[in-house]
Structure 1
Amino acid sequence: MTPPAPDGRDRRTARRRIRNLALTALATALAVTLVTVSAEAARTLPRTGFESADGARWTGPAEERSLLAAVDRHSDLVSVERIGRTKQGRPLRLVRIGGREPAALTVLLVCSQHGDEPAGREACLTTIRDLGYARDRATRDFLSRTEVLVIPTANPDGYAAGTRGNSDDLDINRDHIALRTAEGRAIAAVVRDREPEVIYDLHEYSATAPYYDKDLTVLWPRNPGVHDRVHGESELLAERYVRPAAREAGYGSGLYGIWTDPDTGEPVKQTAGDGQERILRNAAGIKHAVALLVESRTDALDDAERDDPARNSRRRVHSQLAALKGLFRYADERREEIGDAAAGSRAAGFTDRGPVLLGGADNEAAGPGETLAQPPCGYRLTAAQFARVGDELALHGVTSRRDGDGVYVPLAQSARKLIPLLLDGRATYHLANGQVDTAC
């Protein structure tokens, strides 16, 4: 008996299954390729100073410049540009890899905002080299559909001095609202102009045994202004891709800022990782990007690492590289969902009429006075106020229009959830106390 022909639903289901199998095969091939390329690169391709010294020292600025120039010359997929200079005159560089298709997904890596956390920078430099020199079809196909942007050294002055902050002792990762630093301004301009759908922020942390001592900790944006779909994708990136990739490579993983009982694995308390908007993972989420903070553990795990600091450094860098494989697998498997989430977040600002929260987090209710239950139509700034903050508003991608002698900033735009954080006097880190307009 001849079986009945499949209906439209069956055919669509079959196509989805075939597509999912193909994506899984591609992601697996990509992961294997990156491992293989990295091993080959250690022998024949341009090497970082860290690789040449087998982890005994970090890559110097001249070595970074030489590596980036070599990859740029070698690969038609790579370009390097200067996006700013620090107060001490050091260049801030942006590396672009791939992304030839018009609808390519854009992923931004921000590496070592804190100058005394070098492992993320090393992982980024190795990744730039490995992707730039890759010749296998799986990686080349991935890069044709994915634009990978990398800021390899986000804090050159701090790196040179071995300090957390920049040359003004300012924490760049607390400057994504005020934009007082050259480094923070450069990152904001990249986010505004390139509109990355994914922002991945590489850091390091000090462990507190036995409650907080995993090889790698991660955290998504917790700010309540992050669109639900962007928040959901960010958490999924952490839990279904980055943490499993770390575990598969033999590294323990946990949530940043969450102490856990070593026997039960249950949370004990939260010591960090709130929803404040001036931190990059939160600012990125508010600006419509799936975002993740990833931190490798600096402390020695055992006597072997204490006796051999290079062993400790290698573990820190390799754990970051393992996590990056999870990121790339996520970008390839969920590019459509990521793009829809980012687009939905941008569009919501034009139509949303719901409350805006000035505080709180996804795991903490907003405090008294932190909820704008009936948000204003916009904010008016005097000419003097706009002269002080106009550049920052432009870097944040906020649009405004002339209004008499001053400026009017309407809330109905893609930056709707960000604007009150910038211009409402009740917001903790506001730039100006704008005049609230309720006459909608």
Structure 2
Amino acid sequence: MNHRRSTVIAISALLAATFAPVVTSTSAFAAPLPAFAAAEPNQVTDLTVSQADGFATVAWTPVPGAADYQIERTAVDAANAPTGTPTVVGVWRPNRQINNETPTFADAGFNPGTRFQWRVRARIGTAEQPYSSPVFDTTKAPWGDPAVAGQNLRTQWETTQAAQYTSDANEYAYTAAVDQLSERVRVVEIGRTVQNRPINMLVIGYPTPPATPAAVAATSPLAVNCNVHGNEPGDREACLIMARQLAFSNDARTLGLLKNTTVLIVPTINGDGRAANTRGNTTGQDLNRDYSLIRQPETAAYVRMLRDYRPVAGYDGHEYGNNQAGDLPMLPPRHQNVAQQIFDESLDMIENHMYVEGAKDGWWACPYGCANGSGVGLSEETILRNTLGLKNTVNSLLELRSSGGATRPDEGNTANNRRRKTFSALWTFNQFMDYHHNQLSDIKKARGEAIEFQAGNNGRIVFRGSRVVPLHPAPHPGEAGPREDLPTPDMILDNAPCAYKLTEAQYNGARTDGPNDVGATVAERIAAHGWKVVKVADGYVVPLAQPERGLIPLLLDEQGEEEWVSGERVYPTLTGRHNGPLTISGFACLSGATVNGPVNLRPGATLVATNTTISGPVNAANAAGVFFGDSSVRGPLQVANTNGPVTVIGTNVSGPVNLVNNTNGAAPYFAGNSVSGPLNCAGNSTAPTNLEVRNVVNGPRAGQCSTL
């Protein structure tokens, strides 16, 4: 995006000094090239090779009785004369994909733009059968025309042909150049590391990215977190290449995607760890065990970004040391407090999209833990995969298999290994964008239903324990799924409280669990997560009738495995039937209640109502807080001059709704409701938001609620 910064970058000098010139070549073939028919018994037939970014899909007709197949690649010149030694670069096994009747293998690791011969042979038992006839083709050059500004940008990883990873200085220069040369891109700093490195995010949209976080949130964005463990940089390199493609591609797919959403890419949340090539940050903290706790500035920055930009879907990039696993182990959010709708949609993305498309293109996507990995992929809420799920975001973990193993035997060469990892990640992130584009209505529906479910404070609380990920129906990719990790009885609270109350010391007291023994207060961390809090005479109350109900108890209950504080459980004050008017003083919690009469809140009072029916008007004037979740009001709802939080989610109102002159500062939530009458919002210090969950209003919408 063309705008000036305090640090001026001379693009011409940057291109000359930082980015080496690129020589490109193109394939002479527009379609997969076939081999000849079989000339010998058990010879592979119908071999085809098709090119994509950084890999070639090799496909063939199966040989009856074959146990596996070997894929051979040989470097050749323009006349197809060999210039290198024939090398077995891949082994296809039946557990690689879900549709064994059409075997494919994604051959990767080569330097893009080179020309090869491919052959495939079957093995019956251990007996090697004849090779297929050869297929010749030139692989795709790195994306981007070297003669076109912007497209000709290259990372340090690309210019050194994977001999070096991209340094932090090169990343900053590269992303600044992408920003400067493309109207579609804005680079924003979302925070700083312990050692004061910037944590940048690329905000990408068409024709330009939305101007504010709230405007981005309105586009139902998707987010990719590329490098949380500093010694796992393969995904980061893919993200930098993908950013260039999104910034400068003019194909219908890219433009169609960016016209309908915004892509958020955080290349390096752990810049200190990347610079030192360590898993943790400079304090030694594994940041992927801190996203709920946010003890570190890096994770706090990412969580604040989630609060403000509200991505509806996400991917989290890693590398995995088990060389027996698939190319691309994946896993949905499994914590049992994650709403069923989010778990189901995340699993659908993995099994019904990634597995299917992986089988077409030759990548081995499988569940994390699919081979000798039963101790991974568990329920810790501190892991981003689970934190995102608890924030009602459809998402998956991505683990790039860090070494080739038996199925990719040519990865003793470091550059080959690095290229395979990065281009497999690039494939995954592109598939993720396609899924988001094609299934956005389903993603939004799942998210909306999850928010309404959580705001209703429904169901038990599980402090630790995972949902079961059943094996995909045979033939399934991999031998096993992740461990069950079911909750033990001491990790279950069947009788969920209405809220948690914190003392002044718990809420605002100093903490020592951050860098240099200085931690953010609980108040600051709650604000980073975006939770609503009510100030009461003797402390602070955090109701569960809000979208992140599944996460709140894990951090505020003494039963939590890694809680911040042991808050006091506050249980409902009314659960049965009340006939006649109800006047609220102080703090009142209605759960599963029926009130036959009007409800009035006195000044300074707080009402939390979940799964409750009120037959009469509700009037809250000068209240401290108002929360409705999964409830019904048979009459008008008036909330005015409240100096605390206002949240109305998943509630039916048979009458007009007025939200007027509320001054808490944070936006009132009005989401997923049904209103039989007009909806009017005016004079609120911050305009109400529907969290991108549409309301049904049978009447005019006015003022600050005109678009809700």
TM-score by length of 1: 0.86
Q: Counterpart amino acid of 2:390?
A: I
> What does 1:304-323 correspond to in 2, within 5 Å?
304-306=410-412, 308-323=413-428
Aligned AA for 1:389?
A: V
2:539 aligns with 406
In structure 2, the partner of 1:374 is 495
Residue 410 of structure 2 aligns with an amino acid whose one-letter code is A
Structure 1 residues 291, 37: closer, same or farther in 2, change over 3 A?
A: farther
Contact 1:214 1:252 in 2 (8 A): yes
Q: Quick check: 1:437 aligned with 2:570?
A: yes
Q: What is the match of residue 27 of structure 1? A: none
User: How many Å separate the matches in 2 of 1:214 and 1:303?
Assistant: 14
1:273 is matched with which residue? 377
Q: How far apart, in 2, do the equivalents of 1:430 and 1:335 lie?
A: 34
Partner of 1:329: 434
AA in 2 matched with 1:410: P
**1:63 equivalent in alignment to 2:166:** no
SS in structure 2 opposite 1:79? strand
Return the alpha-carbon distance in structure 1 between the equivalents of residues 54 and 449 of structure 2: 32
Identify the residue that residue 215 of structure 1 maps to in structure 2: 327
The alpha-carbon deviation at position 393 of structure 1 amounts to 0.9
Partner of 2:403: 299
* 1:79 paired residue number: 186
The CA distance in 1 between the partners of 2:273 and 2:201, in whole Å, is 18
Secondary structure at the residue paired with 1:304? coil
Q: Distance in 2 between matches of 1:113 and 1:42?
A: 31
Contact 1:259 1:271 in 2 (8 A): no
Per the alignment, residue 108 of structure 2 pairs with none
Alpha-carbon deviations, 1:362-415, whole Å to 9, x = none?
024321122221100101100010013111111111111101131011111112
Distance of 2:409 and 2:223 partners within structure 1: 36
Shift of 1:76: 1.4
When residues 247 and 391 of structure 1 are mapped into structure 2, their CA distance, relative to the original with a 3 A threshold, is same
Letter paired with 1:353: N
Of the three residues 505, 519, 525, the one matched with 1:384 is: 505
Larger deviation, residues 364-373 vs 383-392: 364-373
In the alignment of these two chains, the number of paired residues is: 398
Q: What is the aligned partner in structure 1 of residue 463 from structure 2? A: 358
Change in Cα spacing, 1:41 to 1:230, as seen in structure 2 (3 Å) is same
Q: Distance in 1 between matches of 2:359 and 2:565?
A: 45
**1:114-263 matched pairs, under 5 angstroms:** 114-208=229-323, 212-259=324-371
Which stretch of the first structure deviates more once superposed, 348-357 or 110-119? Answer: 348-357
- The offset of 1:342, in angstroms, is 1.2
Bigger relative contact order, structure 1 or 2 (CA pairs below 8 A, ≥6 apart): 1
Contact 2:353-2:435 at 8 Å conserved across structures? yes
1:318 aligned partner, one-letter code: F
1:288 pairs with 2:392: yes
Is 1:349 paired with 2:454?
yes
Task: Report the Cα offset of residue 341 of structure 1.
Answer: 1.1
Residue deviations 1:37-71 (CA, integer Å, cap 9, x gap):
98442745201111111111111112211211111
Question: SS at the partner of 2:354?
Answer: helix
| Shift in alpha-carbon separation, 1:34–1:191, aligned structure 2, 3 A | farther
Give, in whole Å, the separation in 2 of the partners of 1:280 and 1:353: 23
Question: Structure 2: how far apart are the matches of 1:427 and 1:346?
Answer: 22
1:76-113 CA distance string (max 9 Å, x none): 11100111111111110011001668642210100110
Following superposition, the deviation at residue 300 of structure 1 comes to 3.5
Deviation at 1:303, TM superposition (A): 5.2
2:73 aligned partner: none
DSSP-derived class of the 1:189 partner:
helix
2:402·2:421 contact (CA, 8 Å) conserved in 1?
Answer: yes
Q: Distance in 1 between matches of 2:395 and 2:433?
A: 13
Which is helix-richer, 1 or 2? Answer: 1
- What's the counterpart of residue 423 of structure 1? 556
Give the aligned CA root-mean-square deviation in angstroms.
2.2
- The 3-state SS of whatever aligns with 1:322 is helix
Alignment check: 8 A CA contact 2:333 2:343 kept = yes
Percent identity, aligned pairs only? Answer: 34
Letter matched to residue 305 of structure 1: E
Q: Cα distance, 1:418 vs. partner?
A: 1.1
Classify the secondary structure of the residue corresponding to 1:41: coil
Alignment gaps of 5+ in structure 1: 1-30, 261-268
Measured in 1, the distance between the counterparts of 2:461 and 2:175 equals 43
Instruction: Provide the C-alpha distance between the structure 2 equivalents of 1:243 and 1:57, rounded to a whole number of angstroms.
Output: 31
The structure that has the greater radius of gyration is: 2
Question: Could you tell me whether the CA contact under 8 Å between 2:227 and 2:270 is conserved in 1?
Answer: yes
Q: 1:394 aligns with which of 505, 513, 527?
A: 527
Q: Which has the higher strand share?
A: 2
Structure 1 residues 114 and 38 mapped into 2: Cα distance closer, same or farther (>3 Å)? farther
